Amino acid sequence: MIRGDTSKMKSASNSPFKLVATVAVITALLAGCQEKHHDSANESAPASQPAAAEPSKAEVAQRAREQLLSAVSGVWKPDTGTGLTIISASGSDIQIAQGDTLLPTALGDVDSANDTVNFKIFWKSGKQEVRTITSTMDGDSTSSIVITAADGSQRRYDLVRRLSQDDLNRISALNAQGTATPSESTPAPEQAKAATDRGVIDMYLGGIDMNLRSCPGSTCAAVIIVPKDSKVSADTSTLREVTETSGVNTPWVRVTYEGAYCAPSEQDSTTGCAPSKGTDAPVIGWMNYSRLLNAPRDQS
């Protein structure tokens, strides 16, 4: 009896330990399952997120172009001499101001691979010149630029500051009041001086009648037809290039005209414009700058 009771007592005393051990094993198994589930969820989470779309070549090229135009924009000081040059370039436009002179310019080719920006100057003589701005990098930013003229002469400029609203307001003010077109003999844009005509000069039609259009571009409506050999006043500060439907870039200028004219409906394809009326007040419109002359043509 004593031996049997002792066996029962041992069995009874081992039961709680077995229960505890069983509970511990079950808990460990549950914890392991949760960890596996958690790890599996973490591993599968990235796969469920869509991959970021790679930018196209066109987008990369456009971004590089915008960055280069932004890099050459600013207020610059020549390494020799005095004066400041303000350059504002973005989109398809560039504006360059030197002192009180806003140069009549148009944006040319932008080569982000070689860090160069071309711009055209429309000289008072009627000729055009292409100049090149080369950006010089210092780390991740442009610290200086070099402007190369058509004759190969170069001048270096150091950055004074990035464009501020004050600088943009300055350009707007010069644009509003009109500025003089520098003469072709000017050796560099920074040496151009303001003239008394403030950019408005007399120009002449050649041996053909010309449309005075409502906006720059050959697709704009004709306001009146100005007869050949007439004189107009051209505001050269308004010069801008327009891409025609043919794909050719053409310079246009805003002009003012007073005198005899033809209505567009009166144009005769054989005899041309035979003026039947005169202007009551100055008429303002746009003409193809490349077809205007700086002096009356020789009719002798």
What letter does residue 262 receive in the DSSP assignment? B
Report CA dihedral (121, 148, 190, 73) to the nearest 10 degrees: 80
Q: What is the pLDDT of residue 160?
A: 93
pLDDT given for residue 230 in this prediction: 94
Q: What is the pLDDT of residue 189?
A: 41
3-state secondary structure of 131: strand
Q: Where are the beta strands (DSSP E) in 68-115?
A: 74-78, 85-90, 93-98, 101-103, 105-111
Q: Closest Cα partner for 252 from 226, 214, 223?
A: 214
d(CA 236, CA 253): 6
Q: 260-266: long-range contacts (C-beta < 8 A, 24 or more apart)?
A: 260/227, 260/230, 261/212, 261/224, 261/225, 261/226, 261/227, 262/209, 262/224, 262/225, 262/227, 263/224, 263/225, 264/211, 264/222, 264/224, 264/225, 266/225
Instruction: Work out whether the CA dihedral 216, 218, 221, 226 comes out positive or negative.
Output: positive
Sequence length of the chain is: 300
Q: What is the CA radius of gyration of the chain?
A: 38
Residue 97's DSSP bridge partners are 86, 102
Structure tokens at 2: 């004593």
Neighbours of 269 (CB within 10 A): 5
Tokens of 158: 């150091």
Cβ-count burial of 247 within 10 angstroms (0-12 exposed, 13-18 middle, 19+ buried)?
exposed
Judged by phi (left if over 0) then psi (alpha if -120 to 50, else beta), residue 264 lies in alpha
Residue appearing with tokens 């610290």? 143
pLDDT in tens, the chain (300 residues): 445 555 544 454 455 555 555 655 566 555 555 555 555 545 555 555 666 788 888 889 899 999 999 999 999 999 887 889 999 998 888 889 888 788 888 889 999 999 999 998 887 666 788 999 999 876 566 789 999 988 888 899 999 999 999 888 888 887 766 545 555 544 444 333 333 344 789 999 988 899 999 888 888 888 999 999 999 999 988 888 888 777 778 889 999 999 999 988 887 767 788 888 898 888 999 999 988 998 888 876
Q: Is 37 left (phi over 0), alpha (psi -120 to 50) or beta?
A: alpha
Count of beta carbons in the 10 Å neighbourhood of residue 91:
9
Chain centroid to Cα 147, Å, comes to 18
